[in-house]
Amino acid sequence: MATVKPIIKSRTRRWKYTRYAGRTGSRFLIELRDNKKIMGTKCPVCGKVYVPARSLCYVCFKLMDQWVEVSNEGILMSYTMVYQSEPSYPVKTPFAYGIIKLDGADTGFAHIIGEVNPKDLKIGMRVKAVFKDKRVGSILDISYFKPV
Amino acid sequence: MNQKAPEENLFVEQIIELPFTESAGKYISIFLTKIRDEGKIVADKCPVCGRIVLPPRIVCAYDKVEIEDKPENWVELSDKGTVTDCIGIDDREIDAITGEFVGTPNPILFIRLDGGDEWTILGHIAEEMDASKYPPGAPVQAVWKPKNERQGKMSDIKFFRLIKE
Amino acid sequence: MSERIAIIGVGQTNFKSRRPEVSELDMVNEAVMAALENAHLTIKDVDCVVVGNMELFEGDYEVDMWLAGGSGAYLKSGFKVQTGGSTGSSICCSVFDLAATGEFKTILGIGFEKQDEGSSQASLRSIHEDVFFDVGSSGKSAATAVQSVALDMMRRKSITEEQVAIVRVKQAENAMRNPHAHLRKKLTVEEVMNSPKLAWPLRVFHMCPTSVGACAIIVAPESQVKKISHNPAWVADWTNIHGAIEPFYGSITPSWVTTPLGPMWAWSVEQVANRIYKRNGITNPRKELDVVEVYDMATWAEIEWWERIHLCERNDAHKLVEERATWLDGDIPVNPSGGVTSTNAIGASAMQRVAEVAIQVRGEGGERQVPNVKVGLAVTAGGDMYSAGVLIKKSL
ipTM score of complex = 0.89
pLDDT of residue C257: 61
Q: Do C290 and C376 form a contact (C-beta atoms < 8 A)?
A: yes
Domain count, chain B: 1
Model confidence at C265, pLDDT cuts 50, 70, 90, reads confident
User: Considering only CA atoms, which of B122, B19, B53 is closest in space to residue C250?
Assistant: B122
pLDDT tens-digit readout, C266-282? 888 999 999 999 999 99
Q: What is the mean pLDDT of chain A?
A: 94
Q: What is the pLDDT of residue B9?
A: 93
Could you give the residue ranges of the DSSP H alpha helices within chain A?
Answer: 22-35
Looking at the domain that runs over C5-120+211-221, which CATH code has it been given? 3.40.47.10
Residue C145's pLDDT is: 77
- Say yes or no for a CB contact (<8 Å) between C119 and A25: no
Chain C interface includes A46 (CB < 8 A):
no
Report the distance separating Cα B128 and Cα A50, nearest Å: 63
| Cα(A91)–Cα(A112) distance, integer angstroms | 9
Tens digit of each residue's pLDDT (9 = 90 or more) over C315-373: 999 999 999 999 999 999 999 999 999 999 999 999 999 999 999 999 999 999 999 99
Give me the percent of chain C exceeding a pLDDT of 70.
Answer: 94
pLDDT classification of B137: cutoffs 50, 70, 90: very high
- The count of C-alpha atoms lying within 13 angstroms of the C-alpha of B29, restricted to the half-sphere facing its C-beta, is 15
Say if A11 falls within a structural domain: no
Chains in contact with B, where contact means 3 or more Cβ–Cβ distances below 8 Å, are: A, C
Q: Which residues of C64-84 are buried (b: 16+ CB within 10 A; e: fewer)?
A: bebbbbbbbbeebebebbbbb
**Cα–Cα–Cα angle for B78, B84, B88, rounded to 5 degrees:** 115
| DSSP 3-state of C122 | helix
* pLDDT-based confidence at residue C115 (cuts at 50, 70, 90): confident
Distance CA B102, CA B51 (A): 34
Mean pLDDT within A78-94? 92
**Domain contains B75:** yes
Q: What is the pLDDT of residues B79-88, one digit of tens each?
A: 999 998 888 8
Q: Which residues on C lie below 8 Å from A88 (Cβ)?
A: none
Say how far apart CA B87 and CA C220 lie, in whole Å: 46
Question: Each residue of A119-131: pLDDT tens digit?
Answer: 999 999 999 999 9
Distance in angstroms (rounded) separating the CA atoms of residues B43 and B118: 13
- Say yes or no to pLDDT of B5 above 70: no
Given a contact cutoff of 8 angstroms between Cβ atoms, the answer to whether A111 and A139 are in contact is yes
Q: How far is B33 from chain C (nearest CA, A)?
A: 11
Q: Is residue B1 part of a domain?
A: no
- C228-248 pLDDT, tens per residue? 999 999 999 999 998 776 655
What integer is the mean pLDDT of C303-319? 96
Query: Is B9 among the domain residues?
Result: no
Residue B3 has pLDDT above 50, yes or no: no
- Where are the extended beta strands (E) located within C76-128? 77-80, 107-114
Per DSSP, the residues of C322-374 read HTTTTSTTSSS-B-TT--TTT---HHHHHHHHHHHHHHHHHT--GGGPPTT--
The pLDDT confidence band at residue B2, using thresholds 50, 70 and 90, is very low
Chain B nearest-CA distance from A126, in A, is: 31
The closest of C7, C3, C4, C6 to C216, measured between CA atoms, is: C7
Say what the pLDDT of residue C333 is. 98
At what angle are helices C264-280 and C299-308 packed, to 10 degrees?
40
**pLDDT at residue C128, as a whole number:** 67
Number of domains within chain A: 1
pLDDT confidence of residue C137: 74
A136 and A26 Cβ atoms separated by less than 8 Å: no
Which residue in B61, B87, B93 is closest to C255 by CB distance? B87
Q: What is the pLDDT of residue C250?
A: 53
Question: What pLDDT is stored for residue C254 in this prediction?
Answer: 47
- pLDDT number for residue B4: 44
Which chains share 3+ C-beta pairs under 8 angstroms with C? Answer: A, B
Q: With 60 as the cut, is the pLDDT of residue A85 above it?
A: yes
Chain C touched by A125 (CB under 8 Å): no
Q: Which residues contact C164 (CB under 8 A, 6 or more apart)?
A: C150, C192, C201, C206, C299, C300, C303
State pLDDT tens for residues C60-79. Answer: 889 999 999 999 999 999 99
Residue of A nearest to C68 (CA): A58
Give me the domain span that covers residue B39. 26-162
Q: Which of B10, B13, B69 sits opposite A26 (nearest CB)?
A: B10
Residue of C nearest to A10 (CA): C131
Distance CA A28, CA A9 (A): 46
Residue B140 maps to a domain: yes
User: Using the beta-carbon criterion (under 8 Å), do A23 and C21 form an inter-chain contact?
Assistant: yes
Confidence bin at C252 (pLDDT 50/70/90): low
Domain assignment present for residue B115? The answer is yes
Strands A66-70 and C202-203: unpaired
Asked if the structure places residue A7 within a domain, the reply is: no
Show residues of chain B in contact with A14, CB under 8 Å.
15-18, 97
Evaluate if residue A6 carries a pLDDT over 60.
yes
pLDDT grade, residue B35 (50/70/90)? very high
Q: Which residues of B81-102 are buried (b: 16+ CB within 10 A; e: fewer)?
A: bebbbbbbbbbebeebeeeeeb
**Residue C117: pLDDT band with limits 50, 70, 90:** confident
| Rounded Cα distance, A111 and A122, in Å | 15
Residue-wise pLDDT tens digits, B54-66: 889 999 888 899 9
On whether the CB atoms of residues B87 and B105 are closer than 8 A, the answer is: no
